A and B are shown apart, each in its own frame.
Chain A
């Protein structure tokens, strides 16, 4: 007679891959969902479909060539990436750009925040099944892109920052044209804000999905509108007061509830703040020449290191640049907000519905091309300990 000594419990979990190519995702990312019925019990974030090795590439190129390479880390937030890198170089060189250049830098970054937030709000609407709103928001986003083209010379790739200033000036005609566009866009944003508040589809899909408590948000190092949506008041623009953010008045928007809806509302609040900042900059622009002569910039850098941080549309973006003398950086470390927001956020999906996964992911504003210079997997810790058999081989003891 065999005596029963152990009870082996096999949980009935279905593994559902979302991505890397999936209608709900716009960029390659694999979310492995483990679902018990409709409830998710674990999520693995698998990345690595877009790795380009940019950190290594920057070590092989000169400081100035890197400015343009780094602009290509991410299309949507290229101005904040270059601004962060250029400021890291300026800290090493002890260069201070003229006030007009600082204002113009902030202008380009706030225009970028405008179109980036409009994009993610449009995508949120699309993921909630509201494609008409997506189309309308994208239509109005195009006007912001146009104003960026007026300012920097291209609608996406700004290539606007240079050590010691910016790369082109703005005149009266351009100023009034951007002001016109901003006025038109502001009315539209007010209208869309009302729709987000009143519409049945949006409210039912976004409310109470992916709720994050403030304590969790900080413990897992989430950044940007995600952590501000959980009621934590953190903003690098206030903390570092880089460029002209010390002079330009603005508020930090926070929401308390911490669900996808709160994150969308934080983004709407920031849209209004950005519009006010753009208007303030264009009416209070200091005089002077913001464009440095690129032929006279120092080619060799002194030994030194610096750590610059910038509030990108998606959160805190940081660059660590180390120079060992010479014309090439010794080490460039890029930490994008999406890395923390995507990889560390696997815990938010637990106990949610399968259908809510795209909404939650969308509310983090994932930018895969930003994140993918490194690849990570995450296992939910603490709740239920389980490791799929096929993963055991790869886990280091």
Chain B
């Protein structure tokens, strides 16, 4: 049985910082460019029928000039939640796509691209002007950015 501690342990070569989010979610901060390695390591170590990617969430921090991206992984086989967190520069938010490793990332990646403009490198299905009406998206506005004015 892998406990919370071990989860951080077997990913420790990638972990920059780790802490818990309320209530008892394990957060690990990783390098954005290493995200594919983290997910391959995850699928090697854990049984494929023990976890799934619940969602991808992005937050904009204009004052720090960063965009944060969180991958919420429900490791239900071990009754725990893993949050993989990475920071991207705000001008050029590019992160490698994990869509071929975890097909379930599709919904989250497209949503985050639409709302926040994070570009998932390797995902060929990213498209604008779906969720926001065409008049907003044609102006290149990402509504969830704090300075979008929406």
Contact = CB atoms under 8 A, between A and B. Distances in A.
A and B touch in their complex, CB below 8 angstroms: yes
Interface of A: 46-48, 51, 53, 55-56, 91-92, 214-215, 218-223, 232, 234, 239-240, 304-309, 316, 318, 320, 322, 330-331, 333, 335, 339-340, 343-344, 372-379, 381, 394-397
A306 B70 CA distance: 12
30 contacts: A48-B131, A51-B133, A53-B132, A55-B144, A56-B144, A214-B49, A218-B48, A218-B104, A219-B52, A219-B103, A219-B104, A221-B103, A221-B107, A239-B74, A305-B21, A305-B22, A307-B21, A308-B23, A316-B74, A320-B70, A333-B57, A344-B103, A374-B115, A375-B110, A376-B106, A376-B130, A376-B131, A378-B125, A396-B124, A396-B128
A113 B102 CA distance: 30
Does more than half of chain A's interface fall in helix, strand or loop, or is it mixed?
mixed
B18 to A, nearest CB: 15
A223 B74 CA distance: 11
B87 interface: no
A340 B111 CA distance: 11
Contacts of A372: 131
Given A316-B54, A340-B104, A396-B124, A373 B131 contact: yes
B107 A330 contact: no
Contact of B59 (A220, A316, A330, A395): A330
Given A53-B143, A218-B48, A333-B57, A375 B130 contact: yes
Interface in B72-108: 72, 74, 76, 79, 81, 83, 102-108
Contacts of A56: 143-144, 150
Contacts of B55: 318, 320, 333, 335
Contacts of A340: 104, 107
Given A214-B49, A215-B49, A234 B115 contact: no
A234 B126 CA distance: 30
A132 to B, nearest CB: 36
Contacts of B114: 374-376
Contacts of B143: 53, 56
A234 B51 CA distance: 10
Taking each of A92, A222, A333, which has the highest tally of chain B beta carbons within 10 Å of its own beta carbon? A333
A395 B124 CA distance: 7
B25 interface: yes
Nearest to A322: B59
B115 to A, nearest CB: 6
A235 to B, nearest CB: 8
B104 A344 contact: yes
A395 B127 contact: yes
Given A344-B104, A381-B103, 7 more contacts: A214-B49, A218-B52, A316-B54, A320-B72, A322-B59, A376-B111, A377-B125
